[in-house]
Amino acid sequence: MPETITVDKVNTTSDSKGGRPSKKRSTKGARRAMRVAYRTRRGMAPIYATAAQAVAGSVLAVPDDGWKTALAVTAAGAATTVAWGRWEGRVGKRRLRKRLPARADFIAAASAVTTGGSLVTAMAATGGLQPGDSPYPALLAAWGIGHGIYWWRRGKKTAGPAPSLSKQLQEWQDNVASADGSLAGSRLVDVVTTDYGWTAVIVLRKGNWRRAVSAANDIAGDLDIPEEMLQIEKAAGKSARRAIIAVFDRNPLQDILDFPGPQILNTKTGQAQVGIFYDGDPAHYAFWKPSGPVHSVVYGATDGGKSRFLDMLLGTERHNGIVSWVCDPQGGQSLPRWREAVDWYEDTAQGGLAMLHEVRKIMYERSARYSMMEFIDHKGRQLRGRDHFVVNDPDPLISVTIDEAHRVLNLTGAPELVLELIQMARKCGIKMRLVFQGPKANMYGSAPESTDIREQAQSGNTIMFRTASSLTDSIGLPGWDINPSQLPMYWPNKTSTAGLGYIKGPDNRQAMMRAFFDRDPAHWATTGTTPTIEASAAACTGKAYTERLDRLAARLRGETPVLPDDAFEAGSTDPARLAPSTDPIAQAAAAIEAEAPAGTDDKVAAFLAQRGRPVGRNTIAQETRLTVGAVKSALTRLKSKGLVVDVERGIWAHPDHAESPAETAGLDQAA
């Protein structure tokens, strides 16, 4: 049998006590020390840096040229610190850095690098730390204590504001972003405290910013605050998933904003600051832009601020060379200060209609004149025929304000006139400003043109103060997620919120604003001079304009003035009023206008007389083989002469047959 050999194992690495190996125990202790050092790295950073300098100085003192290495590292560190304090970079649209360091932090970092590097270089050049009589231990201790004090104090200041911000974030997370909250999964970023509360950016988990706006009232409930103390709008220039929220401790628009004066208009841009948004940014209103004047529509319920807003605009126009024509159908009670302070003022709805007829005459006179005007373009070329309006070159801008415009638009012929002016008058330097209680369809009259008037007017400036019905909020500003009807009538201190509303203008912000308040409109109405229309425009007008001052004097004497007989005649068909007879374009236009009524009007009148009952416009056009536009114009002219009657919307008849039942086909085809 083979011999079995037994070998005894001897543990050569165990310690004297026969326990665990000493190598394993020392490795574990080193790891524990590293973990402690890592956890305390922020608070102990000055001590670690001081120790690192002592070690580096001693190590670099061994070679003869170690000080050169220390000097090079110090120079590189200083250059890096300068770049850290003064450089920002981007990769595409992404910012590599949100903000530069504070000035104090930059100075402290530069001091630490340069003084610390100088100490290491000196130790490397003179033999290292050299405990004993050497000054280096004391200098290192002074360096660590000096920079350590700043480091520790800075850490306390940085951590201070955290509780105030974390409260808002926590409330949002618990109440709004929770599974059953108004915006589940959303979060807040860039929270900033303000003197009126706080603002932040909402980042939605899905959907776009409109989802946050539509949930504004529910969010106010989740945060347990009043609805009027919260504002949400689109985050302009950012992702569609982001919206801006502002929560107020006190609404910053509660204080009345005094009108600073007519200098609010920038005559270079044509824009005026008419108020401020909730965050203090200016709210602008456009009088004109490079292509011409900008039409406007103003909505607001009683005590919403419409009249005072108009006072501000009229004062601005008077003192900036803009011709103002004003119709106040409420007997002049809404805008009494401007009765004698504008070029033309009417206080009845009939007077407003006469004003529209005169505006139309001026529009055609200017149009014919501009079509042959010689001018120098931006490239220095001399051209003929200008297709746009330039303020005061050569004519002033005419601004026509019609308060309570529904009263004028309900008059026969007014809707057609207003639509024609809104569509064509901008190139001729005429601006229409219509003022209503609200944007309901009946405010624009019952004519077929009513919807077109509203759409065209709202394409310019639209100002909506507090309205009376939530059903019309989206009509006044289509596509905007706002609720003017929910604006409060009074502030918590029981003062009026007049002037609070929304404005669609150059800023295009769906945010609350408050207009300036003109405390003394009489001052601006009684100072300066009244701008008037040019001589050529005045020459084409009728007695309704030329006798305006006589009627005003009669009104001031307590009399009831009567409009002249020609107040409602279509003067634009008169070649003498259209333009000078030497203008070939004007002569051609006048010839066309003069020939069209002769055949068209007679044909339409004869058709209605022969038909014997009311009929729709489309049917008239089909039977007479005329265009719908020609029929509309003919009916308007015939109606002014009393030769036809509009039985109802889009249905017309000869006066002798107005009581007859309308044709079924005519009702179906009424337009």
- Residue 659: which residues within 8 A CB-CB, separation 6 or more? none
Indicate whether 158 pLDDT > 70: no
Q: What pLDDT, on a 0 to 100 scale, did the predictor assign at position 364?
A: 92
Q: What pLDDT, on a 0 to 100 scale, did the predictor assign at position 65?
A: 82
Cα distance between residue 440 and residue 414, in whole Å: 18
Q: What pLDDT, on a 0 to 100 scale, did the predictor assign at position 270?
A: 95
For strand 430-436 and strand 398-402, is the pairing parallel, antiparallel, or unpaired?
A: parallel
Mean pLDDT of 21-35: 69
Cα distance between residue 359 and residue 347, in whole Å: 17
CA-CA-CA-CA torsion sign (480, 484, 486, 490):
positive
For strand 271-277 and strand 282-286, is the pairing parallel, antiparallel, or unpaired?
A: antiparallel
Q: What pLDDT, on a 0 to 100 scale, did the predictor assign at position 13?
A: 47
Which numeric CATH code is attached to 262-568? Answer: 3.40.50.300
Which of 241-250, 453-462, 572-581 comes out lowest in average pLDDT? 572-581
Which numeric CATH code is attached to 587-668? Answer: 1.10.10.10
What residue ranges do the domains of the chain occupy? Answer: 31-159, 162-248, 262-568, 587-668
Phi first, then psi, for residue 524 (nearest 5°) are -75, -25
Mean pLDDT of 323-331: 92
Q: Please tell me which of 28-37, 63-72, 79-88 the model is most confident about, judged by mean pLDDT.
A: 63-72
Indicate whether 234 pLDDT > 70: yes
Q: What pLDDT, on a 0 to 100 scale, did the predictor assign at position 399?
A: 96
- The percentage of the chain sitting over the pLDDT mark of 90, rounded to a whole number, equals 29
Which of 95-99, 344-348, 477-481 comes out lowest in average pLDDT? 95-99
Indicate whether 497 pLDDT > 50: yes
Tell me the pLDDT band of 104, cut-offs 50, 70 and 90: confident
CA distances from 185 to 108, 173, 202, 203 (A): 41, 8, 11, 9
CB 616 within 8 Å of CB 666: yes
C-alpha R_g of the chain: 40
Whether pTM exceeds 0.85: no
Q: What pLDDT, on a 0 to 100 scale, did the predictor assign at position 312?
A: 96
Tell me the pLDDT band of 99, cut-offs 50, 70 and 90: low
For residue 297, the cross-strand partners are 434, 462
Mean pLDDT of 1-18: 48
Indicate whether 525 pLDDT > 90: yes
Phi first, then psi, for residue 177 (nearest 5°) are -90, 0
Indicate whether 452 pLDDT > 70: yes
CA distances from 581 to 115, 586, 589 (A): 91, 7, 11
Which of 49-53, 198-202, 229-233 comes out lowest in average pLDDT? 49-53
CB 275 within 8 Å of CB 464: no
Q: For residues 235, 236, 241 and 243, what is the CA-based torsion angle, rounded to 10 degrees? A: 10
For the chain, the straight-line distance linking the first and the last C-alpha, in angstroms and rounded, comes to 125
Indicate whether 328 pLDDT > 50: yes
Mean pLDDT of 632-637: 83
Indicate whether 392 pLDDT > 50: yes
- The percentage of the chain sitting over the pLDDT mark of 70, rounded to a whole number, equals 86
Which of 87-101, 247-261, 513-527 comes out lowest in average pLDDT? 87-101
Q: What pLDDT, on a 0 to 100 scale, did the predictor assign at position 616?
A: 86
Mean pLDDT of 509-519: 91
Where is pLDDT greater, at 178 or 166? 178
CB 646 within 8 Å of CB 412: yes
Tokens of 554: 């009669």
Q: Please tell me which of 102-116, 495-509, 602-616 the model is most confident about, judged by mean pLDDT.
A: 495-509
User: Which residue bears the tokens 């970079």?
Assistant: 89
Average pLDDT for the chain: 81
Cα distance between residue 320 and residue 230, in whole Å: 38
432-448: pLDDT as tens digits: 999 998 887 778 877 77
Tell which CATH classification among 1.10.8.60, 3.40.50.300, 3.40.50.40, 3.30.980.40 matches the domain 162-248: 3.30.980.40
Indicate whether 285 pLDDT > 90: yes
Cα distance between residue 306 and residue 403, in whole Å: 9
Indicate whether 583 pLDDT > 80: no
Q: What pLDDT, on a 0 to 100 scale, did the predictor assign at position 16?
A: 46
Judged by DSSP in three states, 402 sits in strand
Which of 83-87, 114-118, 316-320, 665-669 comes out lowest in average pLDDT? 665-669
For strand 271-277 and strand 513-515, is the pairing parallel, antiparallel, or unpaired?
A: antiparallel
Cα distance between residue 473 and residue 612, in whole Å: 44
Helices first, then strands: H and E counts in the chain = 23, 24
Contacts 24+ apart (CB under 8 A), 441-447: 442/406, 443/405, 443/406, 443/409, 444/406, 444/409, 444/415, 445/406, 445/409, 445/410, 445/414, 445/415, 446/410, 446/649, 447/409, 447/415, 447/416, 447/649
Q: For residues 59, 63, 64 and 65, what is the CA-based torsion angle, rounded to 10 degrees? A: -80
